Amino acid sequence: MKVKKLITGMLLIAIFITQINIIPFNNSVYAQETEDNEKFHYQQLDNTAKKIYNGICEMYEQGILKTGTESFDLAKDDKYVTQEQLENYMKGNNELKVAMNAARYAFYADYPEVFYIQIQKLNLRVTKDAQNRYHANIGSGSLKNYYVDGFTSKEQVEEEILAFNDIVNQIVEEAKNLKIEEGKNLVTEQIKYIHNKIIHNTSYRLESDCTEGNEGFLGDRKSVV
């Protein structure tokens, strides 16, 4: 399995440890949430970008992102973007373009567990049908897919998610059951333990994709950077 940058993997572990007392560990990983249950980077967006972000979240929740090719129409029921916004976009207004860029990077920052997509490949394509209704499809556009290079199927993605989560859960359990010396802070020692687990069990490669031989973070103890 390939994680685009080491920091992505470290953030996943950090999320687990910082929420170690409140998250039920059921073979799933979660995006970082603030006290009011909103994602940190989501909160930095304007209203238009938040709606697009929510559309990408729906793609994630429906399993669309795992396919690497399926698109999602933001204009369906005018839930995420309006016909007026799309008409303005077609006239050259760059509001949606700016919002799309902000939304996709905020999503990627809030959801590091979505390691199998290349966020730059996720594009917005606006079209108009025979009934003069606009559609705003988030997908791969003219690209073959929006996977990180090396992923080729939904089945492969699901296998790698399970393998990664198994290892993360194992490390979390070890951290939860860590025995520490009297007088030392438990959370501090847990963080150190996870840090050392990553450092001592990961080597580095300079390749930028997860093709055979390059995949890795925790799973096969390699990480591309």
Asked if pLDDT for residue 198 goes beyond 50, the answer is yes
Q: Count of CB atoms within 10 A of residue 169's CB?
A: 16
Antiparallel, parallel or unpaired: β 203-205 and 222-224: parallel
Angle, in degrees to the nearest 10, between helices 154-176 and 186-200: 140
CB 169 within 8 A of CB 163: no
123 CB-near residues (< 8 Å, 6+ apart): 138, 139, 140, 141, 143, 146
| Gap between the Cα atoms of 218 and 9, Å rounded | 8
- pLDDT tens for 213-222 read 444 444 444 4
Task: Give me the percent of the chain exceeding a pLDDT of 70.
Answer: 72
| Gap between the Cα atoms of 209 and 2, Å rounded | 7
Nearest to 138 by CA among 125, 150, 127: 125
Asked if pLDDT for residue 32 goes beyond 60, the answer is no
pTM for the whole structure: 0.72
Least confident segment among 14-23, 46-55, 164-173, 207-216: 14-23
With bands split at pLDDT 50, 70 and 90, how would you rate the model's confidence at 211? low
- pLDDT tens for 134-180 read 999 999 999 999 999 999 999 999 999 998 888 888 888 999 999 99
